Every structure is written in C-alpha cells, then in structure tokens.
Structure 1
C-alpha cells in the first residue's frame, strides 16, 4: 500500500486510519467489550436447563473418603434439589473441585484445594478459605472466585470473564492468555504474569516479577509495588482519573484498597508493535524483541 502523509491521516475517519496503519490483519472476534446488557433479561444470563436454586437453602458436603468426581457430582445433585449454598468440608487439597458449574450457586470451599479448582465456571460465586494450586479459575467465564490465602502458578489462565481474586500472593504466569474479566491480587505475582494477554484487567497490589505483560496483545495491568521488568511490547501508560476511579471501586469491593489509595499504581499496556509482527522486516523484528 502506498505511504500516507500526516495531512492525509488527519482527514481520514478512525476506521480509515486503522486500515492505513495496517492494524486490521489480526482482529479479535466475538462479543464486544462495549455491549451493554439489560440486567432484567435473565434469559440472556442463564442456561435454559440451569437448576433453580435458593441461596437460603444451605447444606454441607464432607469430602473425606470421596473422589473428586463424586464430590462434583454431589454438588450437581444438590443443585438439582434447589440448594443454592453448598459448603465443602475437608477438601484437603483435592484437585479440580467445583469445575464446570454453569449456573448460579454460592459455593464455599472450607480449606485448601489442589490444581484446576473452580475452572470452566459460568455464574457461581465461590469462596475458598485456604490456598489453591495451579490454574485456579482456568477458563472462567462469569461469576466470582475469592481465595483467602495464596495461589499457585497460572492463576486465572485463559480467563474470559468474572472476577478472580486472591487476597495473598500468586505464582508465575498469572493471567496467561487472559481473554477478559478481572484478576485481583492482594500480594505479589511471579514472572511472566500477563503473558500473551488479549483482553481484561489485572491488578497486583504488591510487586510483579520479571517479564510482566510479555507479548501482550491488549488489556491493562495495574501494579501497586515494584515491577522487576516488563516483557516484550509491554509499556507504561498514563494512569488516568478513570483508571483511578475503577481501581478504587474494584479494590474497595473486595477489601483490598491500600491505605495510601491508588495514585501510586503503575499502568502497563500493550505497545502494539507485535500486532503485525509477520509483516515487519528482519531488522525491525530484532528491534522489537
């Protein structure tokens, strides 16, 4: 395509500018982040086969002596009976607890879980009183998960929606391949957090390890402490009044608001130099990497 002068760019519409700058070769598809939904249109938020549950109807499940499959099946059976609040006792680090719940539920896991807990969920509100292993909330689509203590690596891997919260610190690769939603960390996060991030917001109240936001395509990362280093194409941006208002609301909601407020947070976004990486000349690729 012929080169475009600055004067010509000013006369173009926004869509024409984007095309002229070669930024349309890799477009994310699917639901727009700007669509506003009617909260009264419940049929849009619930699966037609989802059980009708009463949050005031409460029961407990003792995980001792049961397999993960047995516990997860028991959760579904209790939901079919109308139980809206289920407490799992003695989880003792079991893997894959509470996965694949695709409807409303108040789930309390009283203890610690292993790998892949509460993954592939779409709607439940989950509270885990202990620690969690790798990939908690993996591919989460909607709802909330609040972990009271620490979490392992790949916390919120490929998350697509909802709020995933860890009041303590998390391991490396937090939010890897993140596609939406919000991840909140009350403590520190490890290396390569936000790696290949595509959408969504990540908030780290403490420090961040090496290569933060490496190869991120879009989305926003906020860090309240020190950043050991940023990864490829992750750059610092201005913390606006809108950012501060959102941070204040979100952190207050989960009791994570720092005593000194949010003015000290650093905002990291994609530099967007990798958007058209394949079209660059070899010497340009070296400059970016």
Structure 2
C-alpha cells in the first residue's frame, strides 16, 4: 500500500513519495453527461480510475444510467456499487467484475472472467456471453443471468438469489449451496450440488454425476411458476423440461453419520 509520511508517522493513502496524489487516485472527470445519463470511455483508464469515475457519477452527479465503453477486459470493474442504478458495459470484463454490489442493474454485452458478481446482495446482472469459474460465488440476493455457459463451481456457497445459465455449467456447480436457486438450461459437469445445505438446482440437460448428499426431487407447480416467470422477465427460451435437485439432508447431523460417510466428509 502506498503511504504518506507526516510527522514521522506513515499514513495509508494513495500518495507518492512527495505526498502528492497519484494520477489514477482521483476521478478523471472524463465521462460525457447528457441529462440523467452518462457515457464513459474506459479505453485509456486504469481500473481505479474507472471505478472512481463511476462513483463520482453516481454519488456526486446523481447519474443513474451509465454506459461504459471499451472496458478492455479489465479486472474488478463496477464493484461495491450500493445504490439503485443502471450500468451497461459494452464489452468484456476480467476477474471479479460487479462484485459486492447491492441494488444496481448491470448489463454486460461480452464475456466475464472468474468470480463475476461475487457476494452480490441485490440487483440484477445480465451477461450476454460466457462466464468463467466461481460465477455468483456467495451471492445473497438478486438475479444473475448468464446467457452463455459458465465454468466450475458456479454459485459456490450461494446464500440466496437466483442464478440462470442459458448454456452449460462446469463441475461442482452449487457446491456448498446454502439457499437460493440455480436454473441451468444445458448440461452440468460432475459433482452437482456437492455438500449443499438447502436451496434448489434445476437442470434442463444432462447431469454427469451428483455430489455428496444431492438428490433429485419432484417438480412442483411453484417450481414451474418460478422458472416461467424468470424466463419471461429476461426474454429467455427455456427447455421443455427440467429436473430438480435438492439437499438429501443426510449431512445435517454429523453425529449420525455412518462410518463410511464420516470418512468421506471429515
């Protein structure tokens, strides 16, 4: 971490050795504002500058519709946004895009890397193409929609919200899922729902194998109502049929495990 030296003490802050603010530590003030909308060309900006400019637009200028052009697959873009707004990202993002958000509606027209929308509290994130592994890790609420396919461990440690995948999902999807829903239109790799505690996973394609304590359950009218409503909201085409997978609850009480099960999970 960069520091500023004053009175013999080192204070944390975005300063250089002379005590001057680093160039990318302040909002660049380059967005074009028209009414309640703004366009930000991020081609020549660093990650920090992009995020600082976003905050300036949202919290100082009161802009609620922002378009980010030329994101250049940079990492950690549009993180920690805690207000209702609409952000359109025209292009692809790197790792950890749109993490720690609470309220915004984000539309990404390209692809995203690992851990997109990690720890999302509320809001909507729509990704038009593919996403990497750990998509939607530990989300607590909101809707995360990936029109393409996703990598391994999608929704790991999911605590709420809904994840919708238009394509396929990798291995260990729903690992340690605690609550919420996943709707996957395509095929899923091995270890589906491994060690899940609660929640529901709906799969339209083939399942390579189920994880520990993940079992198939009967689809209900409320399940179909949820699926149809979500697909209608986001204009998605859904498969003709889905299978539902939930926690078998055999691992809820570890003192009741059989010896062979204890060896498996401990």
TM-score higher than 0.5: yes
Question: 1:274 aligned to 2:248?
Answer: no
Alignment match of 2:144 (pick from 164, 169, 183) = 164
Give the Cα separation in 2 of the matches to 1:107 and 1:288: 42
Give the Cα separation in 2 of the matches to 1:56 and 1:184: 34
Deviation readout 1:161-208 (Å, 9 max, x if unpaired): 000000000001000000000000000000000000000000001111
Q: Using the TM superposition, give the Cα deviation of residue 280 of structure 1 relative to its aligned residue in structure 2, in angstroms.
A: 2.9
Question: 1:58 aligned to 2:37?
Answer: yes
Alignment match of 2:154 (pick from 174, 184, 188) = 174
Q: CA RMSD in A?
A: 1.9
Native 8 Å contact 2:167 2:186 kept in 1: yes
Aligned residue for 1:83, secondary structure, equals coil
Q: Using the TM superposition, give the Cα deviation of residue 284 of structure 1 relative to its aligned residue in structure 2, in angstroms.
A: 5.1
* Structural mapping, 1:177-188, within 5 Å: 177-188=157-168
Alignment match of 2:48 (pick from 53, 69, 76) = 69
Give the Cα separation in 2 of the matches to 1:110 and 1:187: 21
The 3 A distance-change label for structure 1 pair 283 and 232 is: closer
Query: How many residue pairs align between the two structures?
Result: 233
Q: Could you tell me which residue of structure 2 aligns to residue 78 of structure 1?
A: 57
Question: 1:113 aligned to 2:90?
Answer: no
Aligned residue for 1:171, secondary structure, equals coil
Q: Using the TM superposition, give the Cα deviation of residue 152 of structure 1 relative to its aligned residue in structure 2, in angstroms.
A: 0.4
Native 8 Å contact 1:208 1:226 kept in 2: yes
The 3 A distance-change label for structure 1 pair 288 and 100 is: closer
* Structural mapping, 1:64-213, within 5 Å: 64-79=43-58, 80-213=60-193
Q: Could you tell me which residue of structure 2 aligns to residue 7 of structure 1?
A: none
Give the Cα separation in 2 of the matches to 1:278 and 1:100: 40
Give the Cα separation in 2 of the matches to 1:204 and 1:103: 29
Structure 2 spans left out of the alignment, 5+ residues: 1-33
Aligned residue for 1:77, secondary structure, equals helix
Give the Cα separation in 2 of the matches to 1:245 and 1:190: 26
Aligned residue for 2:49, secondary structure, equals helix
* Structural mapping, 1:243-258, within 5 Å: 243-258=223-238
Q: Could you tell me which residue of structure 2 aligns to residue 234 of structure 1?
A: 214
Of 245-254 and 85-94, more deviation after overlay is shown by: 245-254
- TM normalised by structure 2 equals 0.84
